[in-house]
Amino acid sequence: MPKIVGIDLGTTNSLVAIVEDGTPRVLPGRDGSTLVPSVIYFDEGGTTVVGNPAKEKMVEKPKNTVFSIKRFMGKGIEDVREDLPLLPFEVAPESEHIIRLKIFGRDYTPPELSAFILRELKHNAEATLEEEIKSAVITVPAYFNDAQRQATKDAGRIAGLDVLRIVNEPTAASLAYGLDKRKQGTIAVYDFGGGTFDISILKLSEGIFEVLSTSGDTHLGGDDIDEILIRLVLGELKQRPDIHQLQAIRRAVNKAKEELSSANRADITVQELQYRRSMTREEFNKLIDPIIERTLRPCRQALQDASLKPTDIDEVVMVGGSTRIPLVRQRVQELFGRVPHTELNPDEVVALGAAVQADILAGSKRDMLLLDVTPLSLGIETMGGVMSKIIPRNSTIPASATEMFTTFVDGQTNVKIHVLQGERELIKDCRSLAQFDLKDIPPMPAGLPRIEVKFLIDADGILSVAAQEQRTNKYQSIEVKPTYGLTDEQVEHMILESFEYAEADIEARLVIEARNEAETVLNATAKGIADEQYANISEEEKAEIGAAIARLREVMRTNDHQVIRQAIERLGNATMHLAELIMNAAISKALKDKRVREIQ
Amino acid sequence: MDYFEVFGLPRQLGIDTLALEKAFHDLSRKHHPDYFTRASPSEKTQAVRMTALLNDAYRTLRHPVRRVEYLLSLYGFKPDSSKVPQALLMEVFEINEQLEEVKAGKASVEEADSLRAQIKEKRERFDSQLQQASLEWDELVKRGEPEARLKEQLGRLTEILSESSYIRNLERELE
Ligand SMILES: Nc1ncnc2c1ncn2[C@@H]1O[C@H](COP(=O)(O)OP(=O)(O)OP(=O)(O)O)[C@@H](O)[C@H]1O
Ligand SMILES: [Mg+2]
């Protein structure tokens, strides 16, 4: 049976995991690390690198090194206006409803950029498992809205993955945490990562993981703490930094922030600006207190929605890198009146849970079942710009609602439906999801058609709509215009383009591998020439070695891996005799040594 | 299939919520789309539809007020807040004014607390009325009373919901 992997597509770090023999484990990347930084570096030649090597380029190549792209998923330019001044990216003008970053003159949407990360994870899994991976479960913040979930699914498709399920991150974490199915009781999962904050309250009983309520903020995480510190440094600088220096500041404050989780004092050092300042934990705590307070409000909301008091919570599970901050732990402990669990690796637990959910979907685990909820109320626009709720937040998904629509004018054949998500009264304070056009309604006097529209939120938390005219029993055609998302055709187009990437990527990798091998061969040859045996080969042989070296040096910097390979082979042939002589000499020396020792 | 049928329950309002939860979990294990990943597309769609219906039914029936609303809708009854006695409207109007002051931060803590207690007391009075009328409904159904008597009781339930909707809204605003 083909394997299904679990993927944690994080703002800062991404991971891929799989369950084997009942145990989930994270699969390592090319450099052996299990965390793949969610950073993509584009080089001039059009090739991309993802992960640690890309992260190293953030200061040197700020414009073409993309990070924290998850914060842009499902967003228009207005949503992120405040962040832009601190980011080194060039935003394309056509970014009203989908942000597009311009990199070397080409526009990339967040799903396309995320797809680079997913492709890397897919590759890592394939390299470790030695088989092709086609399907995945991908996690998203519980508080992600419809557009953000859809964007994540699109990213999966562009990366060539069949996304079998979108799972909420805190819920996934609870799966990994409660793998031992004897665990019972009410738990709260507090997930504070790089870009987002989630709180979910679950009831565990006999293998059923039932989410009672969830709340959060999809724009609140370690990045925001970094931003506070960046602004602090900017205020203390005499000159305005360029984008290289800006990124150097980001790196420096991030380092200091992480140090302050274990030390009482840390230095913020930006060599590029000859800037240095020290910060105490106390000072840091004061700066980030408002951020932590912003995480506690959703916690209280989630408790209220579940009709629970803090003391009703049996266990609190901490997830996400930002829960390493001592003040975060302290505040959470104060709120719930109990010491939170921190023994799980907060970086890996979401990916492990995603793998567990993948295992359930693969059919091997029927004793566990996840019952999740939709984080936001779903509604439709009614007269006067008021939002009428049809599926309340925290409804278990899949969930559905049926509404009747009719016409206002005689012979009207079209009805518009505007769908939104949010908790506020007025549509202007809610998030627009999509406009649906009910078309081809049989012409009738006004008010006579009865069009039944069924809204369905599926197990991924994504909406679909179906309509039927009751009098004629005819299914209505519906045209969907997502407000903040890609249309199906756009995604298809990106999938096609991604094949070109995949090819370009393979090509680039072959070139890099060939170059690396060329270097190894050249080094070995240099050693051979220095060996005393070099004196024992003919002048023609020496001339050929010299020529082969020159040829390899000449072609090594080209982008044609086949030419490089040919040159490597030529040098290999030229040095064959020399290598033999060296080998023989080594053997006879070893034998001689052995004999000497035997005699002794 | 209506929500009562989903759980194999008669159309009665007294529901053992613990038993309902157990049935909800058992039925989820049977129909949940997670167990149909490798099934045919039509089986998958069926699993999603069935589970959505199950979830909608559970959400509605476990909640004592939503449960009554749903029962009423099955018989074509709909609570209408415009049909409430004048005296009640006046009362609500007064409470609303006080609420505005609390929201504007003009009231003292004691005043706010007293308002809260007042609203809560009223809501609890409606709750017990609703509970009583629900019990009566179950009795009538069990005894197999004629339709006219049943309709009358549905009317009574509708009235209680119409009247209590104001108080519930006020309470929600206070939260
Ligand atoms: N020791 C530490 N002290 C403080 N912050 C830390 C520490 N270690 C990591 N972090 C922060 O945690 C964040 C990354 O956490 P994590 O990897 O859980 O996020 P993510 O899963 O990528 O993001 P998200 O879940 O929001 O999409 C970064 O902001 C990082 O600076
Ligand atoms: Mg995370």
B29 interfacial to chain A (CB closer than 8 Å): yes
Contact call for B37 and A361, based on CB within 8 A: yes
**A294-300 average pLDDT score:** 96
Return the ligand 1 atom nearest residue A192 CA: 26
Going from the Cα of A193 to the center of ligand 1, the distance in angstroms, rounded, reads: 5
Please check the confidence at residue A372 and state whether its pLDDT lies above 80: yes
Kindly state whether residue A243 falls inside one of the protein's structural domains.
no
Over residues A355-364, the mean pLDDT reads 92
Q: Report the candidate in A385, A398, A383, A389 with the shortest Cα–Cα distance to residue A422.
A: A389
Tell me the C-alpha to C-alpha distance, in Å, between residue A73 and each of A11, A97, A116, A146: 10, 11, 14, 11
Residue A182 above 70 pLDDT? no
How far separated are the first and last CA of chain B, in Å rounded? 36
Residues A471 and A504 in one domain: no
Q: Is A11 close to ligand 1, i.e. is its CB under 6 Å away? A: yes
Q: What is the mean pLDDT of chain A?
A: 90
Last residue of a domain, one of A321, A345, A371: A371
* pTM of the model as a whole: 0.84
Tell me: the pLDDT tens digits for B143-171? 989 999 999 999 999 999 988 888 887 77
Q: Are residues B93 and B125 in the same domain?
A: yes
Tell me, yes or no, whether A364 and A508 share the same domain.
Answer: no
Residue B132 included in any domain: yes
A175 burial via Cβ count (<10 Å: 0-12, 13-18, 19+): buried
Pairing type for strands A415-421 and A378-382 reads antiparallel
Residue A115 sits in the same domain as residue A167: yes
Residue B52 lies in a domain: yes
Kindly write down the DSSP assignment for every residue of A527-596, as one continuous string: HHHHSGGGGGS-HHHHHHHHHHHHHHHHHTTSS-HHHHHHHHHHHHHHTHHHHHHHHHHHHHHHHHHHHH
Task: Check whether A510 has a pLDDT greater than 70.
Answer: yes
Which of ligand 1's atoms lies nearest the C-alpha of A320? Answer: 18
Q: Which residues of B touch A371 (CB under 8 A)?
A: 28, 32
**A192 in the Ramachandran plot: left (φ > 0), alpha (ψ -120 to 50) or beta?**
beta
Which chain B residue shows the shortest CA-CA distance from A369? B29
Range of the domain at A503: 490-599
pLDDT digits (tens, 9 = 90+) for B2-39: 999 999 999 999 999 999 999 999 999 999 999 998 88
Q: How many helices, marked H, and strands, marked E, lie in chain B?
A: 7, 0
Residue A372 burial (CB count, 10 A): 25
The CATH number that applies at residue A560 is: 1.20.1270.10
Instruction: Point out the ligand nearest to the CA of residue A195.
Output: 1
CATH number for the domain spanning A123: value is 3.30.420.40
Domain identity same for A188 and A61: yes
For ligand 1, atom 13: residue with the closest CA: A194
With a cut of 70, say whether residue A600 has pLDDT above it.
no
Nearest to B70, CA basis, from B161, B142, B169:
B161
Considering the domain architecture, whether residues A155 and A103 belong to the same structural domain is answered as yes
**What is the domain count for chain A?**
3
Note the pLDDT of residue B38: 86
**Same domain membership, residue B92 and residue B42:** no
Place of tokens 């989820």: B28
Closest CA to A196 of A112, A140, A138, A151: A140
Closest residue by Cα to residue B34 from A17, A199, A396: A396
Residue B55 with chain A: CB contacts under 8 Å: 395-399
Strands (E), A230-371: 265-270, 275-280, 315-319, 369-371
3-class SS of residue A364: coil
**Beta carbons of A363 and B29 less than 8 Å apart:** no
| Mean pLDDT in residue range A358-374 | 90
Q: E strands along A413-518, which residues?
A: 415-421, 431-439, 451-457, 463-469, 474-475, 477-482
Q: Is A194 in the pocket of ligand 1 (CB under 6 A)?
A: yes
Is residue A77's pLDDT more than 70? yes
Specify if B72 maps to a domain.
no
Q: From ligand 1's centre to the CA of A53, what distance in Å?
A: 19
Confidence of residue B112 (pLDDT cuts 50, 70, 90): confident
- pLDDT band, very low/low/confident/very high, at B172 (cuts 50, 70, 90): confident
Residue B10 lies in a domain: yes
In three-state secondary structure terms, A153 is helix
Shared domain check, A198 and A50: yes
**Cis omega (within 30 of 0) for bond into B146:** no
- Asked if B86 and B165 sit in the same domain, the reply is yes
Interface of A with B (CB under 8 A): 164-165, 205-206, 208, 210, 304, 357, 360-363, 366, 369-371, 395-401, 456-459
Both B132 and B51 in a single domain?
no
Q: Which residues of B touch A211 (CB under 8 A)?
A: none
Residue A334, domain member (yes or no): yes
| Structural domain includes residue A150 | yes
Q: Give contacts of B59 with chain A, Cβ < 8 Å.
A: 395-396, 399
Residue of A57, A59, A52 lying closest to A273 (CA atoms): A59
Together in a domain, B54 and B106 = no
| Chain segment B73-101, per-residue pLDDT in tens | 999 998 887 777 777 778 878 888 887 88
Asked if residue A36 and residue A84 are part of one domain, the reply reads yes
Specify whether B102 is located in the same domain as B161: yes
Range of the domain at B85: 81-174
pLDDT, position A402: 92
Residue A12 Cβ contacting ligand 1 at under 6 Å? yes
Average pLDDT over residues B129-143: 94
Mutate to test the interface with A, among B2, B48, B61, B175 (most CBs of A within 10 A): B48
CA distance B33 to B36: 5
Whether residue B100 sits in one domain with residue B55: no
Other CB atoms within a 10 A radius of the CB of residue B131 amount to 15
Q: Give the CA-trace dihedral at B7, B11, B12, B18, to 10 degrees.
A: 10
* Shared-domain flag, residues B97 and B48: no
| Percent over 70 (pLDDT), chain A | 96
CB contact under 8 A, A363 and B38: yes
Q: Report if residue B101 sits inside a domain.
A: yes
Burial zone of B156 (CB within 10 Å; 0-12 exposed, 13-18 middle, 19+ buried): middle
pLDDT per residue as tens digits for the range A413-466: 888 899 999 988 888 889 999 988 888 888 889 888 888 889 999 999 999 888
Q: Residue B28 and residue A371: Cβ atoms within 8 Å?
A: yes
Report the pLDDT value the prediction gives residue A553, as an integer from 0 to 100: 92
Instruction: Please give the distance of CA A208 from its chain centroid, rounded to a whole number.
Output: 27
| Nearest-by-Cβ selection for A395 from B34, B48, B59 | B59
Structure tokens at B126: 């409606």
- Distance in angstroms (rounded) separating the CA atoms of residues A162 and A134: 6
Q: A20 and A128: one domain?
A: yes
Q: What are the tens digits of pLDDT across the range A186-244?
A: 999 999 999 999 999 999 998 999 999 999 999 999 999 999 999 999 999 988 899 99
Number of domains in chain B: 2
Q: Does B55 touch chain A (CB under 8 A)?
A: yes
Q: Is the CB of A195 under 6 A from ligand 1?
A: yes
Q: Is B106 on the interface with A (CB under 8 A)?
A: no
Residues A310 and A203 in one domain: yes
Domain-located, residue A274? no
Instruction: Report yes or no on A262 lying in a domain.
Output: no
Check A459 against B48: CB less than 8 A apart.
Answer: yes
Nearest residue, CB atoms, B33 vs list A363, A398, A401: A398
Same domain, A174 and A296: yes
Kindly state whether B35 is in contact with chain A, defined as any CB-CB distance less than 8 angstroms. yes
Distance CA B71, CA B77 (A): 9
**CATH number for A455:** 2.60.34.10
Q: Is A329 in the pocket of ligand 1 (CB under 6 A)?
A: no
Contact between B32 and A369 using a beta-carbon 8 Å cutoff: yes
Check whether residue A206 and residue A331 sit in a common domain. yes
- Within this chain, do residues A454 and A549 fall inside the same structural domain, yes or no? no
Out of B25, B38, B55, closest to residue A398 by CB: B55
Going from the Cα of A34 to the center of ligand 2, the distance in angstroms, rounded, reads 14
Give the CATH number of the domain where residue B51 resides.
1.10.287.110
Give mean pLDDT, residues A353-363. Answer: 94
* B48 vs A165, A366, A458: nearest CB: A458
Same domain for B165 and B123? yes
3-state secondary structure of A170: helix
For residue A230, is it within any domain? no
Q: Reply yes or no on whether the pLDDT at B62 is more than 60.
A: yes
Binding site membership of A347 for ligand 1 (Cβ less than 6 Å): yes
Distance CA A216, CA A131 (A): 38
Q: Is B62 touching A (CB cutoff 8 A)?
A: no
Amino acid at A550: A
Q: Is the CB of A70 under 6 A from ligand 1?
A: yes
| Domain stops at, among A485, A509, A533 | A485
> Residue A509: what pLDDT?
67
In the Cβ-directed half-sphere of A553, how many Cα atoms lie within 13 Å?
A: 10
Is there a contact between B34 and A458 if contact means CB atoms under 8 Å apart? no
Flag whether B111 is in a domain.
yes
A-B CB pairs within 8 A amount to: 60
Same domain, B58 and B85: no
The last residue of one of the domains, among A438, A453, A485, is A485
Task: Name the residue with tokens 């299939």.
Answer: B1
Lowest mean pLDDT, pick from A187-201, A470-484, B35-49: A470-484
CB contact under 8 A, A366 and B37: no
**Final residue before a domain boundary, out of B62, B95, B111:** B62
3-state secondary structure at position A87: coil
| Ligand 1 atom closest to the CA of A14, numbered from 1 | 22
Residues A180 and A123: beta-carbon distance below 8 Å? no
In this structure, which residue's CA is closest to atom 1 in ligand 1? A258
Residues of A known to be catalytic: 8, 70, 169, 191
Same domain, B127 and B160: yes
* Sequence-distant (≥ 6) Cβ neighbours of residue A68 within 8 angstroms: A11, A12, A38, A194, A195, A223
Q: Is A266 within the bounds of a domain?
A: no
Highest mean pLDDT among A31-35, B47-51, B97-101: B47-51
Question: Which of B29, B30, B19 minimizes the C-alpha distance to B62?
Answer: B19
